[in-house]
Structure 1
Amino acid sequence: MLRVLLGIAGAVIVLGIFFSVLGTLVIPRLTRSSFTRVVQRTVHRPFQWMADLTHSAEVKDRLLAPVAPLAILITLISWLAFFLLGYALLEAAVSRLGVRAALTEAGSSLFTLGFASGNRASLNAIDFCAAATGPIVIGLQVGYLPALYAAYQRRETEVTLLESRAGSPPWGPEILARYAQVQLLDDLTELFRGWERWSAGLSESHTTYPILIQFRSTKAVRNWLIALLSVMDAAALRLAFNPSQPKAEVRMALRAGFVCLRDIADSRGIAYDHDPHPDDPLQLTYQEFLQGVARMTEQGYPMERTPQEAWPHFRGWRVNYEGLVYRLAWDIDAVPAPWSGPRRTPVVIRTPLTPIDRRPVT
């Protein structure tokens, strides 16, 4: 009876970890692996605890930056450790090997060291399976990393390019203000078209590889979520203030943005209203809205509606994504920025929230 129980436990562990590896590294779609989530949360908690003790955005970013890469490494080690345990239980179930001998037998095969060898045919079969498992898991992980970092680089390229257009950290009204300042408002269509495609790519990559959500930018003032929020806010402002301007690309960028956020929310089990009413309340206040409008007016952005007239239209668009952005920004401790909601702890950032170009006095 003991051998049967050991065999069942070993088979459950091996099959469970096998499906975790398959779902994480092989299947190109969102699959929920409880094992992977538990490992990643366990790695994340002590770093988040330390980050919550600081009030500096730069220090917080440095503390959280290694979490995602470390979680990948710990996940690989955990997979191998549980495969070792599972195969050792199977070895003990089909033989009279003790715990130590079973672990030695399984480890010798799993890591292809070959220093231990059983004489029974049943042991040889398990040894062959273990010997195949080790290289396969490591090989899949090696192939997984280039795809992961390629998606990260594609994401960060656009986030970095946006810095000169949206400030640091990015802000929706700053995009329209800077385009108006350099008289490039006609090029906004190209910006929104590019970010529609970027949002689609982000949705695909960050649901297939959820760990990418935790990967941080190379600078504390950059963040993929805040960049997306700034573009969506700029699109909502464009639609609210300029109803006579072309709308197709602006609407598509907004739609792609909040569909992307909803896909990510689904992957993380975050609840949201699938059909919010345009009159639903916002956390963004009207006074904060007027501060953004003032920045746009300062740089000569043309407005066909007054702020009072534009506010209901802007609110009707923002209600589709504000709650999701605020929740995700809280979860990943994104860099604080205007119109991006609260964080876990109040923080201080060195760069201005609303950058103003300093021109030489003539």
Structure 2
Amino acid sequence: MLLAGIALVIYTLAAAIRAFVMPRNESVLLSNLVFRGIRFVFHLVAATGRTYARRDWVLALYAPVALVALPVAWLALIALGYMGMYWAVGEGSWAFCYKLSSNSLLTLGSMEANSLVGAFLSYSEATWGLLLMTLLISYLPTIYQAFSRRELIVAQLELRAGAPSSATNLIVWLNRGGTLLNDDTQWRIWEEWFVQIDETHTSLPVLSFFRSPQPGRSWIAAAGILLDAAALIISAVDQPRSNQIELSFKAGCLAVNRVYRFFEERAHSKPSELLEPTNSLEEPSRQEFFNAYKCLQEHNVKLNPDREVAWRRYHALRGRYNEAVTFLAKIVTAPEVKTV
């Protein structure tokens, strides 16, 4: 029992360090189990909502609740492990060991161990309890700073791509001066945003589930619009353009695919069934592409005269990120957004 208790404590501490301290995209089983269990409950409740706004309101609580529940799970396992160690060193009955473990973990100071070994265990348990709580508290500002930086770009994109936002509207805005050569700075900002998404949403995966302050916004919908806009420009627009567009497109494809592979392959997450089956984040049809093509023509954007060639190029480019964007949109239950 002593070895089992030590093993459980070490496993829990290692899980906490891998989840918040190690700067790598680690998939931690304990964290995954906590998040999946809470997500299952929230999805059951959200499924009763008749409107997207109601489901969005319910799911907005998921990430904060899961984040708070994670240290509770850590503390519970630490208490369980130390309870076994107290019993193994002869501190008394299971009931007394449970009370002593809980008292030591929460540093209440109302109970004392009966032996020197028990006292050592009690002090060490109090240390780990304080350390775990300090770990979470110290990382909350980091999480919310990353969230704020992400949402700043999402809000700015809505100003440029209209409401409802679309890649077509974004291209029209970018071409407002009759050229696409003046947008290096803007595309560079979006490239940096994609790089930040790549780093933060794999090292701190709970960030993916923090929903935008406005129900109609979503980070993955914004990523889809930016990638669609870049794909449309590269495939269909026949005029000089910023070289930064290709870099931003590559950065976006890498970011969404790495986040997708983390959830699909390493965290083994399943997409939500709360989205409508006709959600427009799915692959657009040929006719939808042609409608976007016509809209761009009406706004004096010079296009490739062969629509079929443009469609095939666009379809090939979208294949680099479509699966990832669709999966992530379902897993975070993103709002319906017109991509093209």
With normalisation by structure 1, the TM-score equals 0.85
What is the identity, as a one-letter code, of the residue corresponding to 1:330? K
Report the Cα distance in structure 2 between the residues aligned to 1:142 and 1:151, rounded to whole angstroms.
15
Residue equivalent to 2:335: 335
In the aligned structure 1, how far is the partner of 2:162 from the partner of 2:193?
A: 19
Pairwise CA distance, 1:44: 1.0
C-alpha displacement of 1:121:
1.8
1:348 equivalent in structure 2? none
The aligned residue for residue 316 of structure 1 is 316
The residue type paired with residue 249 of structure 1 is: Q
Are the equivalent residues in 1 in contact too, given 2:180–2:242 (CA < 8 A)? no
User: Corresponding residue for 1:245?
Assistant: 240
1:124 aligns to what?
A: 119
Which residue is 2:78 aligned to?
A: 83
Could you tell me whether the CA contact under 8 Å between 1:152 and 1:212 is conserved in 2? Answer: yes
1:177 pairs with 2:182: no
Question: How far apart in 2 are the matches of 1:184 and 1:143?
Answer: 46
Give yes or no for contact 2:167–2:229 (8 Å, CA) kept in 1: yes
Q: What is residue 222 of structure 1 aligned with on the other side?
A: 217
In 2, Cα distance between the equivalents of 1:270 and 1:119? 49
Kept in 1: contact 2:239–2:302 (CA 8 A) = no
Distance 1:31 1:179 in 2: 38
Task: Point out 4+ residue stretches in structure 1 off by more than 4 angstroms.
Answer: 181-184
**Letter aligned with residue 99 of structure 1:** W
What's the counterpart of residue 297 of structure 1?
Answer: 297
Match of residue 140, structure 2, among 123, 129, 145: 145
Residue type of the alignment partner of 2:62? V
Pairing of 1:52-63 with structure 2 (within 5 A): 52-63=47-58
Q: Give, in angstroms, the shift of residue 184 of structure 1.
A: 6.3
Q: Distance in 2 between matches of 1:288 and 1:42?
A: 39
Aligned-partner Cα distance in 2 for 1:184–1:158: 23
CA distance in 2, matches of 1:120, 1:71: 38
Per the alignment, residue 110 of structure 2 pairs with 115
- String of CA shifts for 1:309-360, please: whole Å, max 9, x gaps: 31111112111000111111111110111249xxxxxxxxxxxxxxxxxxxx
What is aligned with 1:20? 15
In structure 1, C-alpha distance between the alignment counterparts of 2:8 and 2:47, rounded to whole Å? 35
What is the deviation of 1:156? 0.3
Shift of 1:269: 3.0
Structure 2: gaps (5+ residues): 267-281
Q: How far, CA to CA, are the matches of 2:336 and 2:98 in structure 1?
A: 49
Quote how far apart the aligned CAs of 1:181 are: 4.5
Kept in 1: contact 2:194–2:255 (CA 8 A): yes
Give the structure-2-normalised TM-score. Answer: 0.90
Shift of the 58–119 alpha-carbon distance from structure 1 to 2, 3 Å rule, reads same
CA distances 1:145-193 after superposition (whole Å, capped 9, x unpaired): 0000000000000100011111234321110123335656433332222
Deviations 1:45-85 (A, max 9, x none): 12212323334221121111010000011111111111111
Instruction: Report deviation, 1:127.
Output: 1.0
CA RMSD of superposed structures (Å): 1.9
Q: Any conservation in 1 of the 2:179–2:241 contact (CA below 8 Å)?
A: no
Letter of the 1:287 counterpart: Q
What number of residue pairs does the alignment pair up? 325
Q: Does the 8 Å contact 1:236/1:254 carry over to 2? A: yes
- Which amino acid is 1:335 matched to? P
Say whether the 8 Å CA contact 2:230–2:245 is kept in structure 1: yes
Distance 1:157 1:184, change over 3 A: farther
Residue type of the alignment partner of 2:289: F
Inter-partner Cα distance in structure 2 for 1:229 and 1:78: 35
> For 2:114, what is the secondary structure of its paired residue?
coil
Structure 2 SS opposite 1:115: coil
Percent of paired sites with the same residue: 26
Distance 1:190 1:298 in 2: 26
Work out the CA distance in 2 between the residues paired with 1:252 and 1:117.
62
Mapped partners of 2:99, 2:42: distance in 1? 34
Match of 1:255?
A: 250
Q: Give the 3 Å change call, closer, same or farther, for CA 296–67 of structure 1 in structure 2.
A: same
Whole-angstrom CA distance in 1 between matches of 2:61 and 2:307: 43
Q: Amino acid of the residue matched to residue 262 of structure 1?
A: N
Pairing 1:46–2:41 present: yes
How far off is 1:247 after superposition? 5.3
